[in-house]
């Protein structure tokens, strides 16, 4: 009997892992679709701009005149990115809050389906009907931002519901690759169909997302309680009463020793979990969730970090094709190196932070190292190999840190001891951190095209370096605290082990 139950739990866990992974990956593929067709879209929105003579037939070369010049179109694309990210940020705060209160499966599948329809309208319907209108595009993209924001809080909350803290760093490190995998899926899909017309890039990614929404609707089980299973063991409740007495405000980052839960007998486990059926967890207020220890510094840090990370996400292919004159498909494919390195970064750092039981102590050095790497990248020569190598280094440091903060750290903070029996803050905290981050990212997207057209690409990289420095500054107090507690934590742990 227990064997069967175990297998079923594993089956559900596997399904949840992959469904949430791919649902968010497909969201990201849709976002990536737009950043990868930027050059093509700018071409489609503008008349031909060679001045030596008028080309005939005029319909073929001049009939689209939403913008006069490519620069204007690129600035507009920056405005679209910003509108999207602002709406996305607002949506994250809202959906984090809503996600803790409604059926997460329905919320996620509706969000995916709506996003799919909006992307289809933006990319395909507007192109096929030749309806090019700035205001319409902006409105569609704002609603799209709101709809896409259903994704992250829900999938993180589902993962948090199913997987315990002890394996969270490495597991969520691997899982948080979903954004990067989505970028890669998006980049490959787009470069495969871009030659048919940029609208097909949107059509393929949005169709896949719609298919994903059906899959989520049919297959997702948001919480073990839905199928009558126990939630994963929550070490915070039972194990570390002794560890956390002194350092309350850094609790979530301190109480994750590298102890496998298998060390505990099943009886111990049953003791520490509360009965979900009997006591229904109440949802935490929004303000209370914000004031949880660690949430504010990580939110601010993530705002600066996500600005840089998303600027790479939105503009890297454009930078490569604009600055080095590589063709769009090549740039799209090369830019995936950043994402791949980000996956490795997030996973490796996640693994070591699990071992160490601390995350900030690993993240801050990465952030500081990224500053000279960015300087190096801004002087990268027009050579694909060198460029990709430095790009990967930056992806490892920045993408890795961003992946870790947005998933493992968010889940830690959402499940920390200060919440006690109330596990319903997960989506809210995730929403707050990612929402603040997205506000930062939103501001970045408008800054990049203006800095680039006004002062050149170097100024963009200086902005990135400043942001990375500020990210490190925000986390520095936590970093110091973790170093201090690492020393005390060692002697305490020894004591608690001897007690057992």
Partner 1 sequence: MSLHRITCDFLLFTALIHLMVLGITCQPAICNLDCQVNINETVLAKFCSASAFKLQGRCCVNTTSPDQFDIIGIDLQQCGMTQKKFSQGIDGINTLQFIYLQGNDIDALNNTDFHRNTGILNLSIPVNLSCPGGIKSWESIETETSETTCVGEKNPCISEKLACPPHSHCVHSGIDMSECLCDEDYHGYKCMNKGKFPTVPFAIGITASTVALCIFLWCTQRRYVKSDVKNK
- The tally of CA atoms less than 13 A away on the side-chain side of residue 177 is 26
Q: Is 214 in the site for partner 1 (CB under 8 A)?
A: yes
Give the separation between CA 179 and CA 185, rounded to whole angstroms: 10
Quote the least distance from Cβ 64 to partner 1, whole Å.
6
Round to whole Å and give the CA distance between 414 and 428: 8
Spatial separation of the C-alpha atoms in residues 31 and 110, rounded to whole Å: 17
Question: From the list 48, 288, 355, 384, which residue makes contact with partner 1 (rule: CB under 8 A)?
Answer: 48
Provide φ and ψ at 71, rounded to 5°: -60, -45
Q: Which helix (DSSP H) or strand (DSSP E) does residue 358 occupy? A: none
Q: Which stretch binds partner 1 (CB under 8 A): 90-98, 111-119, 164-172, 211-219?
A: 211-219
Question: In terms of DSSP H, where are the helices of 328-456?
Answer: 328-356, 360-378, 384-394, 400-404, 410-414, 426-455
Cβ atoms 68, 411 nearer than 8 A: no
**Sole binder of partner 1 in the list 92, 156, 193, 463 (CB under 8 A):** 193
Rounded to whole angstroms, how far apart are CA atoms 237 and 243?
12
Q: For residue 276, what is the enclosing H or E element? A: none
Distance CA 274, CA 237 (A): 9
CB 443 within 8 A of CB 71: no
Question: Closest approach of Cβ 38 to partner 1, in Å?
Answer: 14
Among 204, 253, 451, 475, binds partner 1 (CB under 8 A): 204
Nearest-approach distance from CB 209 to partner 1, in angstroms: 11
* Residue nearer to partner 1 on the CB measure, 11 or 133: 11
- Is 322 an interacting residue with respect to partner 1 (CB under 8 A)? no
Distance CA 350, CA 359 (A): 8
> How far apart are CB 147 and partner 1 at their closest, in Å?
20
Binding mask 85-124 for partner 1 (x = CB under 8 A): ------------------x---------------------
Least separation in angstroms between residue 135's CB and partner 1 is: 21
Does 215 interact with partner 1 (rule: CB under 8 A)? Answer: yes
> Residue 438: how many CA atoms within 13 Å on its side-chain side?
26
Return d(Cα 107, Cα 148) in angstroms, integer.
11
Measured between alpha carbons, how far is 65 from 175 in angstroms, rounded to an integer? Answer: 43
Position 57 contacts partner 1 (CB under 8 A): yes
Q: Per CB under 8 A, does 330 bind partner 1?
A: no
129: contact with partner 1 by CB under 8 A: no
How does DSSP assign 91-123, residue by residue? HHHHHHHHHTTS-HHHHHHHHHHHHHHHHHIII
Site string (224-263) toward partner 1, x via CB under 8 A: -xxxx-----------------------------------
Does 24 sit near partner 1 (CB under 8 A)? no
Which lies closer to partner 1 via its Cβ, residue 219 or residue 238?
A: 219
How many residues sit in the footprint of partner 1 (CB under 8 A)?
40
Binding residue (CB under 8 A) for partner 1 from 6, 7, 11, 291: 11
196: contact with partner 1 by CB under 8 A = yes
297 near partner 1, judged by CB under 8 A = no
Residues binding partner 1 (CB under 8 A): 8, 11-12, 15, 19, 40, 43-44, 48, 50, 53, 55-57, 60-61, 63-64, 103, 193, 195-198, 200, 203-204, 207-208, 211, 214-215, 218-221, 225-228
């Amino acid at each position: 009997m227990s064997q069967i139950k175990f297998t079923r739990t594993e089956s559900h866990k596997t399904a949840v892992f992959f469904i949430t992974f791919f649902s968010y990956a497909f969201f990201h593929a849709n976002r990536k679709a737009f950043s990868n067709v930027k050059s093509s879209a700018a071409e489609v929105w503008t008349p031909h701009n060679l001045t030596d003579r008028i080309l005939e037939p005029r319909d073929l070369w001049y009939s689209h005149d939403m913008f006069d010049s490519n620069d204007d179109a690129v600035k507009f694309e920056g405005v679209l990115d910003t509108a999207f990210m602002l709406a996305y940020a607002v949506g994250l705060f809202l959906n984090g809050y809503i996600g803790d209160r409604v059926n997460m499966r329905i919320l996620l599948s509706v969000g995916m389906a709506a996003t799919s329809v909006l992307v289809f309208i933006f990319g395909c319907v507007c192109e096929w009907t030749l309806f090019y209108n700035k205001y319409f595009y902006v409105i569609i993209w704002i609603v799209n931002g709101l709809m896409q924001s259903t994704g992250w809080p829900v999938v993180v909350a589902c993962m948090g519901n199913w997987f315990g803290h002890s394996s969270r760093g490495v597991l969520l490190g691997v899982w948080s690759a979903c954004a990067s995998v989505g970028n890669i899926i998006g980049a490959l899909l787009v470069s495969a169909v871009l030659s048919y017309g940029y609208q097909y890039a949107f059509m393929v990614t949005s169709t896949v997302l719609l298919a994903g929404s059906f899959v989520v609707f049919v297959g997702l089980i948001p919480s073990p309680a839905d199928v009558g299973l126990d939630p994963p063991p929550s070490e915070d409740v039972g194990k570390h009463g002794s560890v956390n007495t002194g350092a309350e405000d850094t609790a979530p980052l301190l109480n994750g020793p590298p102890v496998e839960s298998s060390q505990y007998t099943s009886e111990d486990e049953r003791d520490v979990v509360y009965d979900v059926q009997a006591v229904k967890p109440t949802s935490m207020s929004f303000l209370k969730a914000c004031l949880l220890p660690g949430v504010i510094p990580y939110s601010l840090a993530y705002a600066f970090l996500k600005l840089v990370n998303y600027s790479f996400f939105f503009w890297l292919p454009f930078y490569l094709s604009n600055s080095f004159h590589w063709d769009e498909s090549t740039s799209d494919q090369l830019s995936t190196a950043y994402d791949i390195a980000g996956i490795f970064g997030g996973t490796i750092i996640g693994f070591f932070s699990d071992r160490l039981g601390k995350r900030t102590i690993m993240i801050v050095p990465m952030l500081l190292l990224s500053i000279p790497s960015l300087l190096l990248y801004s002087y990268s020569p027009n050579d694909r190999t060198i460029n990709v190598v430095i790009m990967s280094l930056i992806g490892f440091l920045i993408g890795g840190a961003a992946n870790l903060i947005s998933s493992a750290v968010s889940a830690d903070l959402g499940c920390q001891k200060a919440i006690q029996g109330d596990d319903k803050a997960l989506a809210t905290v995730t929403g707050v951190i990612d929402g603040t981050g997205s506000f930062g990212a939103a501001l970045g997207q408008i800054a990049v095209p203006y800095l680039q057209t006004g002062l050149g690409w170097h100024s963009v990289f200086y902005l990135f370096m400043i942001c990375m420095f500020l990210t490190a500054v925000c986390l520095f107090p936590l970093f110091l605290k973790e170093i201090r507690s690492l020393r005390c934590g060692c002697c305490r742990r020894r004591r608690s082990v001897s007690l057992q």
